[in-house]
Each structure stands twice: as structure tokens, then as C-alpha cells.
Amino acid sequence: MAAMWKLLKRPEGFLPLAISGGFLALLLAGLSQGTLVRAPDEGAAAHAFQILMPLQFVIVALCAIRWLPSRRTAALELLALQCAAAIAVLAIVYWKHL
């Protein structure tokens, strides 16, 4: 677990979590306020989502390529955390049909 924290301090470790955390906060705020609805005209948040989520997957892949060969256990723990965060965001988007 301590080795995962060392990887988490690197940009390829915390950036995917920051992206997912930001979108998760926006989605949960929209759910709580009742403003999270499908709109025919996409706004800036939808465009940011469409750009940053694929970028997040590229960063996760680079993290896997870089750290799996040398720090297998820590890298797998970090990748599981990153994937869980992305799945949480994508689940809300799928659930709300956004």
C-alpha cells in the first residue's frame, strides 16, 4: 500500500483520479440540485467530459505501461483505483442517459 502512495504522487497517478473526482463532484452536485438533465445543446461541461475522459484513459494506459513491469503490485492497486473512479463517473452518465 505504501508503494502505491509513491506512484500516486506522480502525475500519471493522480491526474486520472483528479479528472474523475472533478466530474464526479459535478455530477453529484447536478443530481442533488436536480439540474442534471439531457439537453439537445451540449454545453461546455459536456465538451470537457468528451475530451478529458478519453485523455484519462490514455494516461491510465501510460501509467500501466510504465509501472507494471517494475512495480507490479503497486501499479495494479493504483490502476484498480483509477478504473473504479472512472467507472463511477461513467455509471452515473449511463444511469441518467446523459
Contacts of 10 (CB under 8 A, 6+ apart): none
Q: Is the pLDDT of residue 78 over 90?
A: yes
Please tell me the distance from the alpha carbon of residue 53 to that of residue 90, in angstroms, as a whole number: 9
Q: Which of 55, 47, 40, 48 is nearest to 86 (CA)?
A: 55
Query: Could you report the per-residue pLDDT of 34-61, keeping only the tens digit for each?
Result: 877 777 777 788 888 899 999 999 999 9
| Per-residue pLDDT, 37 | 76
Nearest to 36 by CA among 87, 95, 83: 95
pLDDT tens digits, 19-35: 999 999 988 888 888 87
- H helices of the chain, in order, are 2-8, 11-33, 44-67, 72-95
